[in-house]
Structure 1
Amino acid sequence: MEHQSPVALVVGVTGMVGLSLAEALKQPDCLGGPWKVYGGARHSPDEWFPSSILDGFITFDAVNSADTHAKLLPIANEVTHIFWVTFQFVEDEEVNITVNKSMLHNVVTVLKSSPSSPLTHITVQTGTKHYMGPIYDPVRSNKLICHEPPFNENMPRLPYPNFYYTLEDLVASYTPSITYSIHRSSLIIGASSRSAINAMMMLATYAAICRHVGLPFRYPGNRYTWEHFCDMSDAGVLAKQHVWAGVTKKAKNQAFNCTNGDIFTWKSMWMLLSEVFDVEFVELDDKEEFDIIELMRDKGEVWDLIVEKYGLHKTKLKEIACFEAMVPVVRFEFQHVSSMNKSKDYGFLEYADTFKSIKLWVAKLREMKLIPSYQQ
């Protein structure tokens, strides 16, 4: 039997990691390549998305099994690798479990349905909520049992419902005919106006609004995170880890943390952000409680004015910046740090300098006309 060239389906291609994956897979020197790349998402891409990097874009609703079947059946005899970098997210974790499991199940069911299905591997993007529990749950988050950082992949599951655990169990159930890899990211930095939780877009829109209306660019977190360590995951490094695990025999059926490999304090990060967003650095003031969610609640029209003034792609603040998701992260009472030792032991050695990474992604967001540039 002759070796089939790999064919990828990137589900969630318009998100931060999805875009980086599509770009990585189409590089001439990409591991396992040359790749044919299909991208899938719920909505057709806007003009900021470079559709030309894909061999085909498929718009489908993974929650809807009939729609998924109709749209994906034509490529079921081609796809060798699913890169799963999408999720639907609400506060109720039981709902997250049901919806996210059915989405992945629907896609795999269609792609396995072809008698000549070549599907061999599924990569699944999850995150450090694996080690922290339901940080967004309004009830459970007040008294969480977390693992002690730095987080490592051998830590047992926590006694909470978590759709990450459900997705891991689902892909494990397809073995041995289909292998899998799990990718546990930290805070992801990348470029997209379609990611539900995008730290760079939150910080960039917040800074732009502060600059526009003359508000101080205040840190919305606590003293602990201001002074203690945190890490991040560059979307490009994450994309490379997905591809590496998808084609490396030793990495099959394993879970890997994926961070940049360095750490920072939010104080040092706030200094950098003040510089790149051209706003004045403000020291943390403990005396006054600061609620960024409340502050930004009525700023949608201000963002509309900024979009108009700087000729940006038309985006709505509530769709690109979920400040409710940012607040728990900057108010942790533990150091948000993951170990990359397992990943390195298995042979994945990519890394990123987080501060350089921030500057590169801010430049990319400006180039993509998603955030304002103040250079004359």
Structure 2
Amino acid sequence: MKRKLAVVGASGLIGQSCIAHFAAQPDTEVIGVSRRAPFHLHGAQFVATDLRDPKSVAAAADALKGVTHLVYAALYEAPSLVAGWSDQEQIRVNAEMLRNLMEIGITDHAALAHVTLLQGTKAYGVHIRPMVLPARENRSEMREHPNFYWEQQDYLTELAGMHGWHFTVLRPQFVFGHSLGAPMNLIPALGVYAAILKARGEPLHYPGGPMGILEAVDADLIAEAIDWSHGVETARNAVFNITNGDIFLWKNIWPALARSLGMEPGEDRAMELATAMPAAASEWDAIRERHGLAAPDIGKFVGSSFQYADFALGYGRTVAWEDSIVSTVKLRRAGFSGAIDTEEMFDKWFSRLRADRLLPPID
């Protein structure tokens, strides 16, 4: 059966990996949906759509007619990224975006077979309190705290029951991939930070604070899991945590990151990247010109991901952020066994950004 798959949030890091993965499948027609065009389309059709605007969504309805599989990776983030995670307006906007898509953009629910919804570990309150370790699906959720996840998930559950299609919810940990201007992508944030330090003749200093044990997820691995979920009954109407399969500590992995960026690891030197890096925008512009990069200015390239980097690296902390570990037993038992070494993942993404002339060459 030929799939007609729509990737909503196509310009984001999960969206980019999904377009690359599914466009390579001979049985799949891919449509990318987002406000701005993805860096790579890989032959997919692109439909520019603002999910917050019902008229814009209605204009995309013809292109979405007959869609059999839908990946919903769209996300609205408030300008004050971390503070916005508990903001009622952020919750309202994200809930409204999904409703606009499913009620205005998707007019042919009879053709729809499967919807994938992306969440994350904020479902377990990682941004609010210490997680119950390991966090488990349908057991450790923090539903008592406002979160747009619950509105979206409950809404899809109701729709699936009405129309007879199925859904899968994936909850990744820290996601890493290829995207320009994404609100939560450490690859360009760390890449720009490293390039500026290197141009200054400095090693790769660790700018954060003490952090606990973490897990990462490769965006390509998420795309593989989504593809797997389309063909198995064990993924129908199910919620799964997903990780690379290993754990890491920033301080332990820092030398490997430095090698991937062609640098030596430096000392612990706390730096609020959300403040220091925009102030160094002219240095990034000089690097872009010197190496003939295709990367845009620092704001368009990194977006609010410097804020995310400060949170993820523990800037300003004097005691370690609690360990963030989720159980992936449910996903393994359901049949998905994909994994990647996290150090190899970082090396892959930095290499890909260099190949696209978004980061300077190592030499």
* Structure 1 residue ranges (4+ consecutive) displaced by more than 6 angstroms after TM superposition: none
Amino acid at match of 2:9: G
TM-score scaled by structure 2?
0.90
Decide which of 263, 284, 298 is 1:303's aligned counterpart: 284
Amino acid at match of 2:146: P
What is the Cα deviation at residue 117 of structure 1? Answer: 3.9
Rounded Cα–Cα distance in structure 2 between residues aligned with 1:23 and 1:310: 27
The structure-2 alpha-carbon separation of the partners of 1:60 and 1:333, relative to structure 1 and needing over 3 Å to count, comes to same
What is the Cα deviation at residue 273 of structure 1? Answer: 1.3
Deviations 1:95-140 (A, max 9, x none): 11111111111111134424x740122111111111125x3xxxxx
Which residue of the partner structure matches residue 267 of structure 1?
251
Which residue of the partner structure matches residue 174 of structure 2?
187
Which residue of the partner structure matches residue 167 of structure 1?
152
Q: Secondary structure at the match of 2:266?
A: coil
Alignment of 1:153 with 2:162, yes or no, is no
Rounded Cα–Cα distance in structure 2 between residues aligned with 1:275 and 1:154: 40
Rounded Cα–Cα distance in structure 1 between residues aligned with 2:311 and 2:125: 11
What does 1:1-376 align with in structure 2 at a 5 Å threshold? 4-28=1-25, 34-45=27-38, 49-54=39-44, 56-71=45-60, 73-90=61-78, 91-92=83-84, 93-114=87-108, 117-133=110-126, 135=127, 144-158=128-142, 159-176=144-161, 177-223=164-210, 225=211, 228-284=212-268, 290-321=271-302, 322-331=305-314, 333-375=321-363
Residue 131 of structure 1 contacts residue 155 of structure 1 at CA under 8 Å; is this kept in 2?
no
Rounded Cα–Cα distance in structure 2 between residues aligned with 1:282 and 1:365: 23
Residue 34 of structure 2 contacts residue 49 of structure 2 at CA under 8 Å; is this kept in 1?
yes
Amino acid at match of 2:41: S
- Runs of 5+ in structure 1 lacking a partner? 136-143
The structure-2 alpha-carbon separation of the partners of 1:250 and 1:313, relative to structure 1 and needing over 3 Å to count, comes to same
Q: Say how many residue pairs are matched.
A: 347
Residue 76 of structure 1 contacts residue 110 of structure 1 at CA under 8 Å; is this kept in 2?
no
Deviations 1:128-177 (A, max 9, x none): 111125x3xxxxxxxx3332222221334323211122221121121222
Q: Secondary structure at the match of 2:268?
A: coil
TM-score scaled by structure 1?
0.87
Residue 132 of structure 1 contacts residue 147 of structure 1 at CA under 8 Å; is this kept in 2?
yes
Rounded Cα–Cα distance in structure 2 between residues aligned with 1:276 and 1:40: 32
Q: Secondary structure at the match of 2:239?
A: strand
Rounded Cα–Cα distance in structure 1 between residues aligned with 2:64 and 2:200: 52
Residue 185 of structure 1 contacts residue 258 of structure 1 at CA under 8 Å; is this kept in 2?
yes
The structure-2 alpha-carbon separation of the partners of 1:174 and 1:318, relative to structure 1 and needing over 3 Å to count, comes to same
What is the Cα deviation at residue 187 of structure 1? Answer: 1.1
Rounded Cα–Cα distance in structure 2 between residues aligned with 1:243 and 1:282: 40
Q: Secondary structure at the match of 1:53?
A: coil
What is the Cα deviation at residue 216 of structure 1? Answer: 4.8
Residue 8 of structure 1 contacts residue 38 of structure 1 at CA under 8 Å; is this kept in 2?
yes
Deviations 1:29-72 (A, max 9, x none): xxxx6111111110134xxx332431x1111111101111112x
- Runs of 5+ in structure 2 lacking a partner? 315-319
Rounded Cα–Cα distance in structure 2 between residues aligned with 1:208 and 1:242: 34
Which residue of the partner structure matches residue 317 of structure 2?
none
Residue 17 of structure 2 contacts residue 219 of structure 2 at CA under 8 Å; is this kept in 1?
yes
Which residue of the partner structure matches residue 138 of structure 1?
none
